[in-house]
Structure 1
Amino acid sequence: MTPRAWGMLLVLCGAIFLEGINVAMLNVALPAIRADLGLTTGELQWVISAYVLGYGGFMLVGGRAADLFGRRRMFLAWLAVFLVVSALGGMAGEGWTLIAARFVAGVAAAVMTPAGLSIITTSFPEGPQRNRALLVYSGTAAGGFSLGLVLGGLLAAVNWRLVLFAPAVLALVILALAVPLIPKTPAERPADRRVDVWGALTITAAIMLLVLGVERAAHVEIGWTAAIVAAGLALIALFVVIERRSPAPLLRLGILRSGPLVRANLAGLLFAGAFFGFQFIAVLYLQELRGWSSLETSLAMLAIGADAVLAPTLTPRLVDRFGNAKVIVGGLVLAVLSYALFLPIGTDTVYPAMFPTMIILGVAFALAYGPLTIVATEGVEESEQGLAGGLLYTSFQFGAALGLAASTAVIVAVTDGSDPAGLLGGYRAALAVPIAAAVLAAVVSASGLRKEPVR
């Protein structure tokens, strides 16, 4: 690659790194936010879920907007929005204002993230060069997560508001570098540049209802839960009808005829649900049951960031030798193992007994995340690369929201009192969520093993 191509890739990696530290730092700061703003466990979950709902709900719109109105333009504009709302979130004085700021930040990320991914997939030719770029990209996201854990612990120990101000400062630096390094390309002028607003509203409302139904399951009667979930499913059906009739659909349904693309999105949804559910459980266990500080929690989970090194080094070799499908399945099987190893946790479990979970999960992430990104965008027309990226990240964020909601619902339903034994029982029961999700992801991915061409 030319120096300018490397510069462009590094800027785009900086943006996904920003997204990684943004999520990781806030997760570690959750107990401090709860104490300062007086949030319940259910409200605390929405500090994260508001972001992933805005992210997942508007991702298809963001991806399609990048295809229609210019990838560079959408990337730069919404990076600036992300910068502003992150700073505003750091100034929040009440829980609802922080949740609202997180939602808008999620919407901003929903546009800039698929725009950045589609700049990579349209700038590098399909094959080894693009695969290498995507694996470096995914490894950088992991690096953001691992570094974000440590930075989040350090900043939260001073003041949790710094956890929101730091991404704003980094976004400003990336924006200043992106303007000269991301090249301008001839403006695309499709015959129809309309955005399917009704489709966007319908799918966003559907996601919100489904997550709300799962999260409130432990607090309301089963009839209400069934009604909310049914309403969410009905809106998904309505979304399909709208897309079939729309002259400019948000999601061209024909793209879903690709078996590898569908499997990658389903596996990504389940993988993200498992990972975010586990992370939520682990943070609560370490800080609220064991009494560990934010920094101690960060360092305990730092081993998960091993994929920042493995993704661009080991994973490409494995993909070249075994193919994407086998590497993905291997990563998902390791994820199941890592979550299962956390089941014996107790009120006095020493860290060396937790370490296998953290390091194996880091390897699992390295093997699954990057290849899933490759499969989800491979073979897609250049004019729909933004759509493909938006679809994948929608799956990731929808899965994350459901994983968080399901884990929270189990903890609330099973936890008996505030004594250590009661809390521990709730956390152990909630581990069934990431284990089951990872198993399903492995099964979905394994169904495509015989269909991948032999290398």
Structure 2
Amino acid sequence: MTTDRAATADSTGTVFPRGLLFVLSGNMLLDALEVSVAVVALPSIGADLGLSLTALGWVVSGFALGFGGLLLPSGRLVAVLGRRRVYLAALLVFAVASVLGALATSGPLLIAGRFVKGCCAALTAPTGLAIIADAFPAGPARNRAVSVYSLFGAGGFSAGLVLSGLLTEVSWRWTFLFPGPVALVLFLFGLRLIPGRAPGEEPEPQPPVRSAVLRYDVPGAVTFVGALLALAWALTRGPGAGWADPLTLTGLLPALALGAAFVRIERTAPRPLLRTALIADRPLLWSALGAAALNGSYLGFLFVVTFDLQSGLGWSPLATGLGLLPASLPLAAAVATGMSGRLVGRFGPAPLIALGAWAPPAGYLWCLAAGDHPSYASSTLPALLLVGLGFVLQFAALNTQAMSGVRHADRGSAGALYQTSVQVAGALTTALVASLLAAGADGARRTALVLVTSVAVAGFAVAVAARAPRRGANRTVVPARRDD
């Protein structure tokens, strides 16, 4: 295993490899930046490349679709090729895709680059956490490393809003270019610092090609990604062309067929990407749905607000980035101070989720009530603050509840399922919001906000349902299932 010479001992005497944590956290920061830097730059991108609102929606959704689509297969790829090889390759491809995206002269090239970067993030984000679990001994050292890693992820979104605002003032291309050199630097450090396989971990024996296709569930991965892409394409076309339009149906019908094929494949595959038994895990399912609604409604709302501020009120990109901070900065502060973890430890996840679930839909309803020409101070700012409150109360609680009853052997798959639902919801909601706005009908903005509010209300309903005891269930408090 590659060792990290940039290591110190913490107060307990435990060795703490700072260089390795720098690489892993730096890459996590880039992954978190990717969504927010694109949101603020959207109006400038559209004006420069002549892109419609629908295409601009894909600039955001492309990254999320790549991220969500490859999360389930990513664990299998890492098991086959090894953590070091996959992590470093993804970092290098991310750097190249950043440069190509910044040089893109058309929407399809830019969107393709965003999709590739999302795939890279799907390979590095969970792998980075797994590397931390092996490189840092259990106890204070690992807890500290995970806290730093989480802080870079939570703070990255907020930092991206400001950074994108600053760079877009010069050119939107800088917002897509700057991650490239940073990723390249991390790659060079990673060549020395990223460890190989965990101690005692042996590479999986490689079966013949035909057997490998089934063993590693390639059909499952292909049908899953295909279903997502077909559904997203249909959603972007439906509001403008009509849901009964032949081309719209050519997206919806394959999405349904591929989705059904994925379910069938997973039920019969010798080593499925997703064990169907996980879907029956109630805390995991409710948490995944709640987190999906929280993230999906938020990204859709940011899309609307960005154009409200820049196109409607004439705000600069920097002012827009600063104006969007009230929704994301409280979460970064809560993670940095450890408040999120302390709240979950004191009150438990379920009460916090129920307490926070009302805030985002209330904020969106507030914005809806303001009409088509909202004031930032009286409409948008209160909505953003309510959304921020919802994230502070729910973010850590949803993560904790999702894993509360999952066996140790299933935690990787459960985490991938949870994050997949978060990313896919963000991609699909943003795509549909963009297409509703692009349709240009009277009240298009209001219709888009109604969709955002409906997604958030669905999240509130999930939180209420999760709190309700099942009929006939034993109400005696029992410990969570032990890890196997």
Whether the TM-score (by the shorter chain) exceeds 0.5 is yes
**1:113 is aligned to 2:131:** no
The question of whether the paired residues in 2 share the 8 Å contact of 1:121 and 1:385 is answered with no
Residue type at the aligned position of 1:308? A
Partner of residue 430, structure 1: 448
Indicate how the Cα distance of structure 1 residues 380 and 129 shifts in structure 2: closer, same or farther if over 3 A, else same: farther
Residue type at the aligned position of 2:352? V
**1:204 is aligned to 2:225:** yes
**1:87 is aligned to 2:99:** yes
Partner of residue 449, structure 1: 467
2:87 paired residue among 75, 79, 87: 75
Q: Deviations over 1:8-42 (max 9, x none)?
A: 55543322221121211111111111111111111
**1:402 is aligned to 2:428:** yes
2: CA distance, partners of 1:345 / 1:142: 32
1: CA distance, partners of 2:158 / 2:69: 26
2: CA distance, partners of 1:9 / 1:367: 27
Residue type at the aligned position of 1:333? W
**1:62 is aligned to 2:62:** no
2: CA distance, partners of 1:326 / 1:375: 11
Partner of residue 273, structure 2: 250
Alignment partner of 1:4: what SS? Answer: strand
1: CA distance, partners of 2:35 / 2:261: 32
Within-5 A mapping of 1:35-434: 35-120=47-132, 137-184=149-196, 185-186=198-199, 187-190=201-204, 194-224=215-245, 225=248, 228-304=251-327, 305-312=329-336, 313-343=338-368, 344=370, 346-347=372-373, 349-351=375-377, 353-413=379-439, 415-416=441-442, 425-434=443-452
The question of whether the paired residues in 1 share the 8 Å contact of 2:344 and 2:396 is answered with no
Q: Deviations over 1:195-223 (max 9, x none)?
A: 21111110111111212222111222332
The question of whether the paired residues in 1 share the 8 Å contact of 2:16 and 2:136 is answered with no
Structure (1 or 2) with the greater helix fraction = 1
Q: Deviations over 1:296-325 (max 9, x none)?
A: 111101222221111342211110111122
Tell me the matched-pair count: 447
Residue type at the aligned position of 1:277? G
Segment drifting more, 72-81 vs 435-444: 72-81
Offset, 1:189: 3.9
The question of whether the paired residues in 1 share the 8 Å contact of 2:79 and 2:204 is answered with no
Segment drifting more, 10-19 vs 298-307: 10-19
1: CA distance, partners of 2:414 / 2:95: 25
The question of whether the paired residues in 1 share the 8 Å contact of 2:164 and 2:321 is answered with yes
**Tell me, which stretches of 5 or more residues in structure 1 are unaligned?**
417-424
The question of whether the paired residues in 2 share the 8 Å contact of 1:25 and 1:163 is answered with yes
Which TM-score applies when normalising by structure 2?
A: 0.83
Indicate how the Cα distance of structure 1 residues 126 and 328 shifts in structure 2: closer, same or farther if over 3 A, else same: farther
Alignment partner of 1:158: what SS? Answer: coil
Alignment partner of 2:273: what SS? Answer: coil
2: CA distance, partners of 1:72 / 1:447: 42
Offset, 1:378: 4.5
Q: Deviations over 1:218-244 (max 9, x none)?
A: 222332345632431221111111112
**1:440 is aligned to 2:451:** no
Offset, 1:144: 0.8
**1:17 is aligned to 2:26:** no
Indicate how the Cα distance of structure 1 residues 98 and 54 shifts in structure 2: closer, same or farther if over 3 A, else same: same
Residue type at the aligned position of 1:198? P
Alignment partner of 2:357: what SS? Answer: helix
2: CA distance, partners of 1:345 / 1:179: 54
2: CA distance, partners of 1:256 / 1:238: 17
1: CA distance, partners of 2:386 / 2:360: 7
Residue type at the aligned position of 1:241? R
Segment drifting more, 72-81 vs 197-206: 72-81
**Tell me, which stretches of 5 or more residues in structure 2 are unaligned?**
1-9, 207-211, 470-474, 480-484
Which TM-score applies when normalising by structure 1?
A: 0.88
The question of whether the paired residues in 1 share the 8 Å contact of 2:32 and 2:156 is answered with yes
2: CA distance, partners of 1:151 / 1:410: 29
Partner of residue 4, structure 2: none
The question of whether the paired residues in 2 share the 8 Å contact of 1:67 and 1:383 is answered with no
Indicate how the Cα distance of structure 1 residues 228 and 292 shifts in structure 2: closer, same or farther if over 3 A, else same: same
Offset, 1:74: 2.3
1: CA distance, partners of 2:433 / 2:166: 27
Offset, 1:388: 2.7
Residue type at the aligned position of 2:351? K
2: CA distance, partners of 1:298 / 1:52: 20
Offset, 1:121: 5.6
Indicate how the Cα distance of structure 1 residues 454 and 246 shifts in structure 2: closer, same or farther if over 3 A, else same: closer
Offset, 1:426: 2.5
The question of whether the paired residues in 2 share the 8 Å contact of 1:271 and 1:438 is answered with yes
Q: Deviations over 1:408-442 (max 9, x none)?
A: 233234643xxxxxxxx322331112211112112
2: CA distance, partners of 1:130 / 1:174: 21
Indicate how the Cα distance of structure 1 residues 74 and 375 shifts in structure 2: closer, same or farther if over 3 A, else same: farther
Q: Which has the higher contact order (CA 8 A, sep 6+)?
A: 1
1: CA distance, partners of 2:165 / 2:317: 4
Indicate how the Cα distance of structure 1 residues 144 and 219 shifts in structure 2: closer, same or farther if over 3 A, else same: same
Q: Deviations over 1:283-307 (max 9, x none)?
A: 1111112221111111101222221
The question of whether the paired residues in 2 share the 8 Å contact of 1:273 and 1:401 is answered with yes
